[in-house]
Structure 1
Amino acid sequence: MSTANASPAVRPLPIWAVALIATLGSLLFGYDTGVISGALPFMAHPVADGGLGLSNVAEGIITAALPIGAAFGSVFGGGLSDRFGRRRMLLWLAVIFFVGAVGAALSPTMHVMAFFRVVLGIAVGGASTTVPVYLAEVSPAERRGSIVAIDQVMIVTGQLLAYTNNALIAQLYGESSSWRWMLILASIPAIGLWIGMRLMPESPRWFVAQNREDEARHALARVGAEHAEAQIDQIRSTIDKNDSQESLGFGALRLPWVLRIVVIGMGLSVIQQITGVNAIMYYAPRILESTGIGTNAALTATIANGVISVLAALAGLVLVRKLKRKKLLALGQVLIIFSLLGIGVISLVTEGQGATWLVLILMLVFLTGQQGAVSPVTWVMISEVFPLRIRGLGVGLSVLVQWLANAVITFSFPVLLGWVGLGPVFMTFAVLNVIALWLAARHLPETSNRSLEEIEELMASRPARSPKPAVKAS
């Protein structure tokens, strides 16, 4: 009998509705990372005209401020969500998103703008850690993959919304102060996240970890979970079996199997970034301009990238449920390697000139593999593999690595592009992805169709993979 039937006073919420409210944080993640590409040209205008008079260095500082803040937010957000709860953390993040958006839009100087971009980054990093964990912990095992993958759909939807709003505001308003309108719009979904999460339940698994089982039963009833008592017993059994993790925090990393899982989570984050996705997303206009296409056409193609990203992420919702995690990851990596090699070869042979459409098509194939396979698998598996008592911290460390890799690639790409050219850069990405494909096939566990408690038991009992005798470990 379902918990909902046992507690008629509790009206269960559809799990998709819970997911849509929580992933407003992911929408904000996408919007705040995407909006800066359209705002920067207007910020560069003189202060007297409504801009901020940004130099090239100042533009770099403002762009880098968000991932720097996100790196901190991912670590502290994970630990705070373990201590105070996933729902409460999302409520706090909604306030930080609002303050950051309003502060950035009203910034009188570059220094104030950089500060509020760091504030927004803290919220983005916290959301990138907390949202997938919350979704994983409120979802039934058989639907967890597709529910957690909504996180990725909302991120790319936020980016597409930012690109579209930037174009519309620039077209309709067209003044130097247009950037303020672009940035202030992020405050609207922040208000929606705060209001919506006040109506959502806390994670039942977090309640059990806090020895608040009555509240866990109520939370399970709120999401219409069946066999609530059996779920609580399984969660409690898993916690009791791993008493060595009683204290939340870094002390659990002394356990070899926990440390191994953290390394796996960090490895997934590196794989997700080493594809070069942010080089494509941040510098697509520059890449296309190098093929001879005009600036306006390049900006239009950037919107096309956003559209394909959303469509691919929607397909990922289905694929992550139908296919094994490792198989889908491998499929995405193969598409990415093919695309990177294609762009690299075309650039080396033709120096890009006259190959605009080929490069654009390969970029769209790349985004299909990235947003339809690699990114959803990365976020789903990161939300799954960590033990309950350190799940927030483990996800936080993994997302920290992701943001640091993001920053390194974002900074290094234009430098390398000017130094060696487009072809060698993309060929290097392709080689790195071949290595990543081999490592993922060899070391990642398969987590499909298992409950979070079963995954935890699997990881705790899974010995580290030993190399074959004929192969010397590096």
Structure 2
Amino acid sequence: MTDSPHVAGEYHIHGEQSHNGSLKITQYTYLLAFCAALNSCNLGYDIGVSTNVGPMIEEEFGLSSSERELFIGSLNLWSIFGSSMAHWICDTYGRRSSFIVAALFFIVGVIIMGLSNSYAILMIGRFLVGLGVGFGLAIDPIYIAEVTPAQYRGELVTWSEIGINVGIVLGFATGFFFYGYEQSIQWRLMLWMGAVLPLVMIVLVLTVMPESPRWLIKKGREQEARQILERLYPPGNDISAVMNEIKEALDVETRAKQDNGWDVILYPTKAVRRMLLVGVGIAIAQQLVGVDAIQNYLIDLLKESGIDSDRGPLEVLMVLGLLKLGFVFVGGKLFDTRGRRPLFLISLAGMALSLTIIAYSNETMTIVGLALYLSFFSIGMGPGAWLIPSEVFATSIRAKAMSAATICNRVAATVLSSTFLTASEYFGWTQVFLMLAGICILLMIFVYFFLPETKGRSLEDMSKYFAQITNDTSLIQAEIKLSQSFQREYESFQLDHEIS
């Protein structure tokens, strides 16, 4: 989720610059981005801990494979509703309130799951955790984007993806931490540990994290926004210019929402249809390669490969989690130096090879294959799945197109996670992994023929590109109309201000 499905409109900051011509970033900005990224650890923790507790819950409640799949996969479905609810709370009550609501849902959810004595109660807790995760998916990147200068936004928004992977490692680590406890107590303690990070988030929100200056300006609380911006940017910056550009971005965003209803997505022109094919397609592709399903059932895969000790799978889980986390950093850096298309193609080719190795391997080679798979995912498809949509969607359709991409991504995750075990029982592990390898190859073809290189290209460049390849200039005309309309209003405002 490199760039948010809901990142704020861009604005450029004037003021003090470093020796390389870019604005200096303050330690306070880094601190706030770090705090927000911690919230993403909740989703990762759930993935990691579910990998460990899934088989224990299945055994304790006597679940079928389908019931366990529903328990695992439903989180992605409920997160869609959480993300949808988050926007109303986020816009009405502020970003800080959304962090608190997300944390409370997660805390109550894991407590209920840990106390459950039936599958029905377990699923109630899962529903609440899913809502909390959905809130986090929506609010984390928004907050980071709104407290960060535009030229650093891409880098710091990727901290949400890093937070997810840190959470996965922490979830895997619970298997070691509670190793040796009676199983019926062990999985409950592991789930309850999930309440720690949300509690930390509530403390940070109440003591460290201010409200987003962009939200404050939108609500007319400009003096509060100015005080926060003065801490976010080094001394010497023109804070008035910063505030004016935020207002410009808000006005353009508001006008785009007014001028373009959902018809622009439901009945797209040729250019918009091609944008949606690329942006939504890449978001879906991230889940079609099977990453959520494989991560959620790693314990099963490792035991199936022949590891028969109790601690053996836990040790391998930790290695795989740390490896995946490390390569997220590598992928984030390479995207800005090597470009998007090459990394996507390398990532998909590597995953196809890795999945083939897993399909035909013994114990050692299964572990090697999984390590390669997670590494190749993390250098391309992982950090890039939200970077591409954020770069190809035009301003006039971005908010709605990003919502469509998010929903499709979560639906694909739900389907894959909810059918993985059943498919493996019906077809066999070898056939399932060969099927996923085939999907990776098909996605390589899709990327090669349809994905443009977006590195270093502006939104205007991308709009022109899609207009040219589809011979459809309606999107360009809509962007120009939107820009001209705002420019006239802004000039009128400046004239009235000078006269007064």
Flag whether TM exceeds 0.5 (same fold).
Answer: yes
Q: SS of the counterpart of 1:267?
A: helix
Q: Which deviations, in whole Å up to 9, do the C-alpha atoms of 1:429-448 show, x marking residues without a partner?
A: 22222232333344445554
1:400 and 2:407 aligned: yes
Are the aligned partners of 1:101 and 1:186 in contact in 2 as well (CA < 8 Å)? yes
Are the aligned partners of 1:26 and 1:158 in contact in 2 as well (CA < 8 Å)? yes
1:388–1:73: structure 2 CA closer, same or farther, 3 Å change rule? farther
Aligned equivalent of 2:21: none
1:135 and 2:144 aligned: yes
1:21 and 2:24 aligned: no
1:80–1:315: structure 2 CA closer, same or farther, 3 Å change rule? same
1:120 and 2:146 aligned: no
Are the aligned partners of 2:256 and 2:396 in contact in 1 as well (CA < 8 Å)? no
In structure 2, what is the Cα distance between the partners aligned to 1:78 and 1:245?
Answer: 14
Q: Which amino acid aligns with 1:75?
A: S
1:266 and 2:273 aligned: no
Aligned equivalent of 1:463: 466
Q: Which deviations, in whole Å up to 9, do the C-alpha atoms of 1:28-63 show, x marking residues without a partner?
A: 111122212222343345xxxxx5454545433322
In structure 1, what is the Cα distance between the partners aligned to 2:56 and 2:464?
Answer: 56
User: How much is the aligned-residue C-alpha RMSD, in angstroms?
Assistant: 3.4
1:312 and 2:327 aligned: yes
In structure 2, what is the Cα distance between the partners aligned to 1:210 and 1:460?
Answer: 31
- Name which of 344, 350, 367 aligns with 1:360: 367
Aligned equivalent of 1:181: 189
Alpha-carbon deviation of 1:449? 5.1
With 157-166 and 216-225 compared, the bigger mean Cα shift is at: 216-225
1:418 and 2:425 aligned: yes
Alpha-carbon deviation of 1:331? 3.0
In structure 1, what is the Cα distance between the partners aligned to 2:148 and 2:92?
Answer: 21
Q: Which amino acid aligns with 1:334?
A: A
1:204–1:98: structure 2 CA closer, same or farther, 3 Å change rule? same
Alpha-carbon deviation of 1:120? 0.3
Alpha-carbon deviation of 1:115? 0.6
Are the aligned partners of 1:332 and 1:372 in contact in 2 as well (CA < 8 Å)? yes
Report matched runs for 1:426-437 at 5 Å.
Answer: 426-437=433-444
Alpha-carbon deviation of 1:162? 0.9
Aligned equivalent of 1:277: 291
In structure 2, what is the Cα distance between the partners aligned to 1:237 and 1:444?
Answer: 31
Aligned equivalent of 1:196: 204
In structure 2, what is the Cα distance between the partners aligned to 1:239 and 1:400?
Answer: 24
Aligned equivalent of 2:494: none
Q: Which amino acid aligns with 2:441?
A: V
1:427–1:28: structure 2 CA closer, same or farther, 3 Å change rule? same
Alpha-carbon deviation of 1:384? 5.5
- Name which of 84, 94, 101 aligns with 2:110: 101
In structure 2, what is the Cα distance between the partners aligned to 1:90 and 1:140?
Answer: 21
Aligned equivalent of 2:233: 224
Are the aligned partners of 2:303 and 2:313 in contact in 1 as well (CA < 8 Å)? yes
Q: SS of the counterpart of 2:469?
A: coil
Aligned equivalent of 2:257: 245
Q: Which deviations, in whole Å up to 9, do the C-alpha atoms of 1:359-393 show, x marking residues without a partner?
A: 32122111111123321122344456667798665
1:413–1:44: structure 2 CA closer, same or farther, 3 Å change rule? closer
Aligned pairs, number: 444
Are the aligned partners of 1:384 and 1:447 in contact in 2 as well (CA < 8 Å)? yes
Q: Which amino acid aligns with 1:284?
A: L
In structure 1, what is the Cα distance between the partners aligned to 2:456 and 2:261?
Answer: 28
Normalising to structure 2: TM-score of the pair? 0.77
In structure 1, what is the Cα distance between the partners aligned to 2:377 and 2:437?
Answer: 13
Q: SS of the counterpart of 2:178?
A: helix
Aligned equivalent of 2:78: 69
In structure 2, what is the Cα distance between the partners aligned to 1:155 and 1:69?
Answer: 18
In structure 1, what is the Cα distance between the partners aligned to 2:47 and 2:259?
Answer: 35
The unaligned stretches of length 5 or more in structure 2 are 1-13, 18-24, 472-500
Aligned equivalent of 1:8: none
Alpha-carbon deviation of 1:417? 2.1
Alpha-carbon deviation of 1:215? 4.9
- Name which of 332, 341, 346 aligns with 1:326: 341
Q: SS of the counterpart of 1:466?
A: helix
In structure 2, what is the Cα distance between the partners aligned to 1:465 and 1:441?
Answer: 18
In structure 1, what is the Cα distance between the partners aligned to 2:278 and 2:218?
Answer: 23
Alpha-carbon deviation of 1:262? 5.2
1:98–1:281: structure 2 CA closer, same or farther, 3 Å change rule? same
- Name which of 43, 51, 54 aligns with 1:40: 54
1:219–1:195: structure 2 CA closer, same or farther, 3 Å change rule? same
With 402-411 and 253-262 compared, the bigger mean Cα shift is at: 253-262
Q: Which deviations, in whole Å up to 9, do the C-alpha atoms of 1:88-137 show, x marking residues without a partner?
A: 32222122112212222222322111011011011112212322233233
Q: Which amino acid aligns with 2:324?
A: S
Aligned equivalent of 1:379: 386
- Name which of 126, 146, 155 aligns with 1:146: 155
Q: Which deviations, in whole Å up to 9, do the C-alpha atoms of 1:286-341 show, x marking residues without a partner?
A: 33444433253334322221121111123234334444333333332232223223
In structure 1, what is the Cα distance between the partners aligned to 2:217 and 2:437?
Answer: 45
In structure 2, what is the Cα distance between the partners aligned to 1:131 and 1:280?
Answer: 25
Alpha-carbon deviation of 1:209? 5.3
In structure 2, what is the Cα distance between the partners aligned to 1:229 and 1:328?
Answer: 40
Aligned equivalent of 1:155: 164
Are the aligned partners of 1:148 and 1:379 in contact in 2 as well (CA < 8 Å)? no
1:436–1:392: structure 2 CA closer, same or farther, 3 Å change rule? same
Are the aligned partners of 2:351 and 2:376 in contact in 1 as well (CA < 8 Å)? yes
In structure 2, what is the Cα distance between the partners aligned to 1:419 and 1:339?
Answer: 22
In structure 2, what is the Cα distance between the partners aligned to 1:87 and 1:331?
Answer: 39
Aligned equivalent of 1:7: none
Aligned equivalent of 2:484: none
Aligned equivalent of 1:169: 178
Q: Which amino acid aligns with 1:100?
A: G
Are the aligned partners of 2:331 and 2:383 in contact in 1 as well (CA < 8 Å)? yes
Are the aligned partners of 1:153 and 1:313 in contact in 2 as well (CA < 8 Å)? yes
